[in-house]
A and B are shown apart, each in its own frame.
Chain A
């Protein structure tokens, strides 16, 4: 069926709606100070300049926040894959009582509002001594990323025929060797996608990071706290720096996200 003009129009509006702000932020992040303040703003970057970005990185606390963000996202990536992949493998390979309920339960954790959890979490983290640490934030981010990690890896392992593993068993592998020699190499691109997605979720997350840190802010939390009383160039550069990694990564792993969402991948 050929999409009608109304459909195309709506799609066009949607694309502009999403892309325009991103474009403006990117354009202004690479402009000099005067064009950032200029009004009306030109559609294209007037004066290409790294001045705005340089200013952004010069602000005190930015580098520390980036370091924290990287640490938190890195830990989230590792935890999500280490916990999520075995769960996904179990869902894909074993029939166990309550497998379907378990699958649903994993998704339900996403329905749990973080706002309700925040205060008890903060209290517990204070008691455990992990409040205001990247590790504490990474734990919460892992909880957020885990459902995706489990479901993506489960469909990933489902796509690898069981006979490949069985063939490896009959050829002298124990279960772990068969996994390492046969399943892992085949699953690697998908596992990388899962890891990147966990990284992006953590990189973009602001609510938990804001509530659970004071000094050890991640980049989004740091920006949120200082956005209102900072100059325009800082906002554009900060916004740009937040958006870009997420966009690039999502673009790289879009094929796996499509499979997760049940869209046929071509």
Chain B
């Protein structure tokens, strides 16, 4: 068990700058998810921590040891790969035992540990099989069991669920969460799936263009995005950003006047509000603004509305029994506690300080 500390990591592939000065700290026993679109450098960062990739600059600590110059085998990490990377020429038992055999563990210990890891992943009845005889989900279980069997200080997972079909992914997600809550292994988990990140993480590090944009608890990241990128990337549909005129310490939204948390230098400000954070009415109410309905999409648990406010488009979700037609004008009341104010040019959030 150990934490991970990463300092000012830089990495370029040719002219492409994959990571530009990333620092990150993962506490002991914490589950941190690196979340970002493809090409944002999240996998590269994970591979640098594993030692599979060399950083151009910067340092990596695991626990109290600096591991920057060490090969993967000396870092006491275990990794789970996107394509499972289960050894096809070895049985499930030998796959799980691989790391222990490399440590030259005695036979009884290997047997005990393999069975323990296999039981944890519910594959104890598959130990004699070869990977070719397993389904994708079972292979993934073998890969996780193999990683856990060596009792690594740090577990690194690179999109471990993305090759599974949707239903299986849901099942494995819940199981991983249970498993890692039990084993309390420090875990760094890479994904581009925001739902996966939200559901698993103690903390999410949102990455974009080689940098960490926000590093916080899932609900914080969701409700208080650090900038327009985070608000747009997390949440489906993404956060709405309305460009509003500024009047002193306040912003004007139609007839509504909303207080700003801090002084704004420009003439405009962005209001970030999630689609579910509107109260929607068919008649005019106080503290609300009108918008024209363009599209109604029934999604089952709710209706997704595409609306036009002036020249700007926004999305809102409403209960499935809400009676509404395209062309109709409805009134939206943003929930006061759920508003996020951002600076329009930089996209950065305004802070209350």
Q: Point out residues on A near B: beta carbons under 8 Å.
A: 161, 163-164, 166-174, 177, 181-182, 185-186
Task: Tell me if A186 and B79 are in contact (CB < 8 A).
Answer: no
Task: Tell me if B88 and A163 are in contact (CB < 8 A).
Answer: no
Task: Tell me if A171 and B98 are in contact (CB < 8 A).
Answer: yes
Closest chain A residue to B47, Cβ basis: A166
Task: Tell me if B102 and A163 are in contact (CB < 8 A).
Answer: no
Closest chain A residue to B77, Cβ basis: A170
Q: At the interface, yes or no: B50 with Cβ under 8 Å from chain A?
A: yes
Q: Point out residues on B near A: beta carbons under 8 Å.
A: 50-52, 71-73, 75, 77-79, 81-83, 85, 87-89, 98-99, 102-103, 143, 146, 150, 156
Known contacts A161-B83, A172-B99, A182-B87; A166/B150 CB under 8 A: no
Interchain CA distance A164-B150 in the complex, whole Å: 17
Q: Give min CB distance, B155 to chain A, whole Å.
A: 10
Known contacts A163-B81, A174-B73, A177-B102; A169/B89 CB under 8 A: no
Task: Tell me if B150 and A171 are in contact (CB < 8 A).
Answer: yes
Closest chain B residue to A163, Cβ basis: B85
Task: Tell me if A173 and B88 are in contact (CB < 8 A).
Answer: no
Q: Give min CB distance, A57 to chain B, whole Å.
A: 42
Task: Tell me if B71 and A166 are in contact (CB < 8 A).
Answer: no
Closest chain A residue to B156, Cβ basis: A170
Interchain CA distance A186-B86 in the complex, whole Å: 12
Known contacts A172-B99, A172-B102; A167/B79 CB under 8 A: yes
Task: Tell me if B146 and A161 are in contact (CB < 8 A).
Answer: no
- Chain A residues contacting B71 (CB-CB under 8 Å) are 169, 174
Known contacts A166-B85, A185-B89; A172/B79 CB under 8 A: no
Q: Give min CB distance, A180 to chain B, whole Å.
A: 12
Closest chain B residue to A171, Cβ basis: B99
Q: 5 closest pairs, A vs B, by CB?
A: A172-B102, A163-B85, A171-B99, A169-B72, A167-B85
Q: Give min CB distance, B286 to chain A, whole Å.
A: 59
Q: Give min CB distance, A8 to chain B, whole Å.
A: 38
Some 7 contacts from A to B, beta carbons below 8 A apart, are A161-B83, A161-B85, A164-B85, A164-B87, A168-B87, A169-B52, A171-B150
Most B-side CB within 10 Å, residue of A167, A172, A177, A185? A167
Task: Tell me if B87 and A166 are in contact (CB < 8 A).
Answer: no
Task: Tell me if A186 and B83 are in contact (CB < 8 A).
Answer: no
Q: Give min CB distance, B208 to chain A, whole Å.
A: 26
A-B contact count (CB 8 A): 60
- Chain A residues contacting B89 (CB-CB under 8 Å) are 182, 185-186
- Chain A residues contacting B143 (CB-CB under 8 Å) are 167
Interchain CA distance A182-B52 in the complex, whole Å: 17
Task: Tell me if B73 and A186 are in contact (CB < 8 A).
Answer: no
Interchain CA distance A163-B150 in the complex, whole Å: 18
Q: Give min CB distance, A152 to chain B, whole Å.
A: 20
Q: Which of A166, A171, A185, A186 contacts B146 (CB 8 A)?
A: A171
Known contacts A163-B81, A167-B81, A168-B98; A173/B87 CB under 8 A: no
Interchain CA distance A170-B156 in the complex, whole Å: 10
- Chain B residues contacting A177 (CB-CB under 8 Å) are 102
Interchain CA distance A161-B89 in the complex, whole Å: 13
- Chain B residues contacting A167 (CB-CB under 8 Å) are 79, 81, 85, 87, 143, 146
Interchain CA distance A145-B248 in the complex, whole Å: 82
Interchain CA distance A173-B73 in the complex, whole Å: 6
Q: Give min CB distance, B56 to chain A, whole Å.
A: 16
- Chain A residues contacting B73 (CB-CB under 8 Å) are 169-174
Task: Tell me if A166 and B72 are in contact (CB < 8 A).
Answer: yes
- Chain A residues contacting B82 (CB-CB under 8 Å) are 163
Task: Tell me if A186 and B72 are in contact (CB < 8 A).
Answer: no
Interchain CA distance A164-B52 in the complex, whole Å: 12
Task: Tell me if B83 and A172 are in contact (CB < 8 A).
Answer: no
Known contacts A163-B81, A169-B72; A186/B150 CB under 8 A: no
- Chain B residues contacting A170 (CB-CB under 8 Å) are 50-52, 72-73, 75, 77-79, 156
Closest chain A residue to B104, Cβ basis: A172
Task: Tell me if B79 and A166 are in contact (CB < 8 A).
Answer: yes
Closest chain A residue to B81, Cβ basis: A163
- Chain B residues contacting A174 (CB-CB under 8 Å) are 71, 73
Task: Tell me if A186 and B88 are in contact (CB < 8 A).
Answer: yes
Interchain CA distance A233-B73 in the complex, whole Å: 64
Closest chain B residue to A166, Cβ basis: B52
- Chain B residues contacting A186 (CB-CB under 8 Å) are 88-89
Interchain CA distance A161-B82 in the complex, whole Å: 12
- Chain A residues contacting B156 (CB-CB under 8 Å) are 170
Q: Give min CB distance, B15 to chain A, whole Å.
A: 15
- Chain A residues contacting B102 (CB-CB under 8 Å) are 171-173, 177
Interchain CA distance A168-B89 in the complex, whole Å: 13
